[in-house]
Structure 1
Amino acid sequence: MVTRVLAKDVAQKAKRQTQKAARVVQKNVTDAVIGTLGLQGERMSKVDTAWLRMDSASNLMMILGVWVIHPKLKYEDLAQRIEERLLKYPRFVQCAVEDAAGATWVKDTAFDLRNHLVRETLPKKPKGREQEALQDRLAQLTMEPLSRHRPLWQFHLVEDYKGGSALMVRIHHCIADGIALISVTQSLVDGGAPPPVRKPREAHADGMEGAEAWIADALLKPLTNMTVKALGAAGEGAARSMGLLMEPQKGMEQGMHSSVDAAKMAYQVVTDLASLALMPDDSPTRLKGTPGSSKRVAWCPPIPLEEVKAVGKALNCSINDVLLSCVAGALGEYLKEHGDAVAGKEIRAMVPVNLRPMENAYKLGNQFGLAPLVLPVGMDNPVERVYEVRSRMRGLKGSMQPLLAFGLLAVAGLLIKPAQDALLNLFSKKTTAVMTNVPGPREKLKICGSTIEETLFWVPQSGSVGLGVSILSYGGGVQFGVVSDSTLCPDPQKIIDQFEPEFAKLSMLTLMLPWGE
């Protein structure tokens, strides 16, 4: 018996050493190829690699945004600003070169800004309907792949739009997540600055760098050492992971030294991992199915942020609770308008959760997890619905699911593309929408002397997910946007049109509650 155990242990060690040697050989081959080309490269993190390879015929992994600007913005002025600010971020002058082991960031020696900042002219529309032309063009751009032979981003400037200009932005998700791109936005506006000079990345003790080292310390070690002794040794890494999840902007001042705390953490990990793996399917609706190859985009005018705050304060709920409740109500009303029975129905939305301190956002890349939020679309009473959303959001705050989802993305980046697709499709099949809620600046920003009057963005959907919902507060207002697969939801404006009425109903009922009793 002892001999068999020892033989098994030796075999496992030999297998690990062989795999490590294979990784070294793959990296050396890639470095040799890049060296032969006379280029300098930086290995892409496994999480970013997963995003690079996630493009499909139905969903391209691009973050899409639009600015509505007044007065008009000149092409030459914007080009100069991009030269001075945006191109200081290395990722915006680098190509993503794939190989058998992953991908490498390589400087584009033939970089030409004219390939990335292009002029657009929208079709003429009757006065008051100009936004329709902008929405149509944005919908087309969601399904136009970025050239893999150039850095993976493109700006489209409409110099004449409603008396001002419109700037449409496409950035591949492998460059950065939405939180990191906020730092890019801040660098472009008046008063902004280029990113600080990055220091060379410190190598990990095992030869890993960047996100891979972070995953090893914060996730893999705690997960793969499930004995009491190993849990005690992994306590510091586990504490860092919990700290990033619970207070990502602050981190953790102290590690966990108690094996009891470590055991609790391990139990939470196992519980949340099981919850992720065994997620039930959400309610079948017309919003879920097999997506096609075209999109539709829509958004609403801003709602005053102070009104949303007032309702939240009166109901002892967060702004986020109020807005997500209105989204659930809007989706429910849309389904009812199309003749669908919604009583008791719920749909699952994946909500990004930031896992990095904002002071590190300029480094770009992807460091966020995903939390599954089930929206009660079949609950008619707006007050009852907002409290239900609040309860579910609170239930997610103590969860490690976002961190585990980040780890799964890293694992996916290690796999060949068919295996990666199979892993990630397990989650997309159980999800109807991707939903983001980002607080923007309270005051309106300027670029090249012109005011950014409206700003909207949408994150991509993956696999078979056909609906993206975004909420952005900016300049004293809140806007709600939807991007949808045209096969599953050909008329997202009808969802948008329900958002403000849902908020109005919630506001009215809030005023009617017996506050004096």
Structure 2
Amino acid sequence: MSKKLTFLDKTFWITESEDNPKHVASLQLLKMPANASSDYVDKLLAELRSSEQASAPFNCRVSTLMGYPLKFVAVERIDMHYHVQLHTIADLNDKTALHKFVASLHEPWLDRDKPLWQFHLIKDNNSKQFALYIKIHHMCGDGSTLIRWFQAGYSQSPITQGFVPVWSMDRTQRKRDKTPWFKAVFGGLCGFVIAVKDLIWIWFRLLLKLLRINKDYMPLPFTGTKTVLTGQVKKGRAVATLDIDFDRVKTLSKRLRASANEVMLCVFDIAVHRQLTDYGQTFEKALFTNMPINLRKPGETTYGNKIAIVPVQLAHGHVDPYLRLREIIENHRKVKKAAKASHPASFSYYTLLIQAYAIMFEMLGLSNWVKPIANILVSNMPGPSEIMYFKDSQLLATYPISTITPGGGVNITMVTYNGQANIGLVCCNNNIDSLEPLAQYCLEAFDMLEKCIDDPSLNTDDIGEKMNEEDTSIADNEPFK
């Protein structure tokens, strides 16, 4: 079996370095069955390693020509001792210690001569729980693809016999009727022309914004703020996780007339400001987030990556968390409006162009000298709504831990599972000690946003901003109706 790679897939290979690997991961907490023996995890390890038959892309390595990736090709034999490993730590319930250990697993890149995935089982010798840390290269698929694959490896009830791990599952895609070549060529050409036209229009609108002729458009690239979280990405990672009741998020979003995504953007904005204040950093303008946009058609289940990532301005100057949210809503919807008005491929091309510059700066070691595209990357994906089982172990939580974009920042990814928002945080730890405070600040920021509806006296004075009197926010100029 072989599979061609799209150019976007290939960029994750071309731009990868030991300082900034391009794999994504998930930390999953599981509860053993009630009758589990003391060697349950050891037996599970042996069972997983015995499943040597794998399907694409889990049985594929990358075929290259002078270092340039061409396609996935099947390997003759899979080294299961590399792909499935077991670790023992002192106390699985010590979240800080667990996060540090997972950060050490997340730091090194995957062996490029092997299929690009690993399963790490983590146990202690006392509890009836264990953890799975799963890492897979980003070129294998985007978030929605990987969530779909790994969700298929779980069941709604315990399995004691006939368990098949995710890498051994059949992912043969349904053959589609071939489109006549002339129709495919004509349709592809028309789509390309429209996408290029829309891309030119995007850059023209950005030029008008740069010239201050029309400020009402999405942010200019590379106008982010330098912080201790941004800059040249090097070895070393900090990881943290947290949980928020997603029913609370949905209820709050209805009360505030905002989407759940916008509520969480406000929460993360407040929390990141507070973390940066701990390092003595205050700002005279808003921070920015990178927003992934899913470019797949409804029901599309192809491999690879079909996403665009564009910056969104967050909030500045408001100590009232509600006013910060309204400003973020306005800025967020400007980008969504621009995306809806353009051909999906044009946003993909736009992403490739601006990310190419960021990658160039990173490869030349110049990321500390230029402004970042954004300060954080926030993405969210829906997961299972009911309790799931890995074999006969109940899945308690699943925390996504992503890669770091060129120019640094903190990557915040959220997956909903069984009524909870499981949130994973990761960044380069060269200039900070830990992300544990940020996780706590996220919880406090959510509580503050929830309470501010009934208590207008709540504010974010401890964020540590400096407000320029001549600056006015979008919310001030364009009040909501």
Question: Does residue 202 of structure 2 align to residue 221 of structure 1?
Answer: no
SS of 1:110's equivalent?
coil
Task: For residue 187 of structure 1, report the CA deviation from its aligned partner.
Answer: 1.4
Q: For the structure 1 residues 98 and 484, does the alpha-carbon distance in structure 2 shift closer, same or farther, using more than 3 Å as the test?
A: same
Contact 2:240–2:436 (CA<8 Å) still a contact in 1? Answer: yes
Partner of 2:84: 117
Residue number among 443, 461, 478 corresponding to 2:386 in the alignment: 443
Aligned residues: 423
Q: For the structure 1 residues 507 and 450, does the alpha-carbon distance in structure 2 shift closer, same or farther, using more than 3 Å as the test?
A: same
Matches within 5 A, 1:35-434: 41-71=2-32, 74=41, 76-77=43-44, 87-88=54-55, 90-100=56-66, 102-122=69-89, 124-125=90-91, 130-160=94-124, 162-190=127-155, 194-199=170-175, 205=181, 218=191, 220-224=192-196, 268-271=201-204, 278-300=220-242, 302-342=243-283, 344-357=284-297, 359-361=299-301, 363-376=302-315, 379-400=318-339, 403-407=345-349, 429-434=372-377
Contact 2:124–2:130 (CA<8 Å) still a contact in 1? Answer: yes
Contact 2:117–2:137 (CA<8 Å) still a contact in 1? Answer: yes
Q: Deviations over 1:147-187 (max 9, x none)?
A: 11110010101144742110001101011111100111121
Partner of 1:505: 448
Q: For the structure 1 residues 496 and 506, does the alpha-carbon distance in structure 2 shift closer, same or farther, using more than 3 Å as the test?
A: same
Kindly provide the amino acid, as one letter, of the partner of residue 436 in structure 1.
Answer: S
Question: Does residue 405 of structure 2 align to residue 462 of structure 1?
Answer: yes
Q: For the structure 1 residues 306 and 42, does the alpha-carbon distance in structure 2 shift closer, same or farther, using more than 3 Å as the test?
A: closer
Q: Deviations over 1:302-358 (max 9, x none)?
A: 22222222211111111111111010000111122332223x432222121111135
Query: CA–CA distance in 2 between the matches of 1:351 and 1:410?
Result: 14
Query: CA–CA distance in 1 between the matches of 2:135 and 2:30?
Result: 17
Q: For the structure 1 residues 158 and 377, does the alpha-carbon distance in structure 2 shift closer, same or farther, using more than 3 Å as the test?
A: farther
Query: CA–CA distance in 2 between the matches of 1:145 and 1:59?
Result: 8
Query: CA–CA distance in 1 between the matches of 2:323 and 2:346?
Result: 31
Q: Return 5+ residue gaps in structure 1 as ranges.
A: 1-39, 227-264
Query: CA–CA distance in 1 between the matches of 2:25 and 2:378?
Result: 14
Residue number among 462, 469, 472 corresponding to 2:415 in the alignment: 472
Contact 2:232–2:406 (CA<8 Å) still a contact in 1? Answer: no
Task: For residue 484 of structure 1, report the CA deviation from its aligned partner.
Answer: 1.4
Q: Deviations over 1:197-245 (max 9, x none)?
A: 4438958848999xxx997654x32245x5xxxxxxxxxxxxxxxxxxx
Contact 1:48–1:413 (CA<8 Å) still a contact in 2? Answer: no
Tell me the TM-score normalized by structure 2.
0.77
Query: CA–CA distance in 2 between the matches of 1:187 and 1:203?
Result: 30
Query: CA–CA distance in 2 between the matches of 1:132 and 1:346?
Result: 30
Contact 1:187–1:194 (CA<8 Å) still a contact in 2? Answer: no
Task: For residue 59 of structure 1, report the CA deviation from its aligned partner.
Answer: 1.3
Q: Deviations over 1:95-149 (max 9, x none)?
A: 0121156422111112233321111112x24x85x22232112111222111111
More helix by share: 1
Query: CA–CA distance in 1 between the matches of 2:5 and 2:99?
Result: 33
Query: CA–CA distance in 2 between the matches of 1:442 and 1:294?
Result: 34
RMSD between superposed Cα atoms in Å = 3.7
Q: Percent identity?
A: 20
Query: CA–CA distance in 2 between the matches of 1:83 and 1:92?
Result: 15
Q: Deviations over 1:7-38 (max 9, x none)?
A: xxxxxxxxxxxxxxxxxxxxxxxxxxxxxxxx
Contact 1:298–1:481 (CA<8 Å) still a contact in 2? Answer: yes
Kindly provide the amino acid, as one letter, of the partner of residue 272 in structure 2.
Answer: L
Query: CA–CA distance in 2 between the matches of 1:419 and 1:335?
Result: 24
SS of 2:107's equivalent?
coil
SS of 2:299's equivalent?
helix
Query: Which structure has the larger Rg?
Result: 1
SS of 1:512's equivalent?
coil
- Greater mean alpha carbon deviation, residues 476-485 or residues 96-105: 96-105
SS of 1:138's equivalent?
helix
Query: CA–CA distance in 2 between the matches of 1:116 and 1:338?
Result: 39
Contact 2:244–2:420 (CA<8 Å) still a contact in 1? Answer: yes
SS of 1:454's equivalent?
strand
SS of 2:332's equivalent?
helix
Query: CA–CA distance in 2 between the matches of 1:280 and 1:420?
Result: 13
SS of 2:112's equivalent?
coil
Q: Deviations over 1:49-106 (max 9, x none)?
A: 1111121243110102110000166455477579879933x11100012115642211
Tell me the TM-score normalized by structure 1.
0.72
Q: Deviations over 1:359-383 (max 9, x none)?
A: 333x321111112112226532111
Contact 2:309–2:351 (CA<8 Å) still a contact in 1? Answer: no
Q: Return 5+ residue gaps in structure 2 as ranges.
A: 34-39, 157-165, 210-217, 458-481
Query: CA–CA distance in 2 between the matches of 1:74 and 1:198?
Result: 36
Contact 2:219–2:312 (CA<8 Å) still a contact in 1? Answer: no
Contact 2:59–2:78 (CA<8 Å) still a contact in 1? Answer: yes
Kindly provide the amino acid, as one letter, of the partner of residue 70 in structure 1.
Answer: K
Query: CA–CA distance in 2 between the matches of 1:102 and 1:399?
Result: 33
SS of 1:222's equivalent?
helix
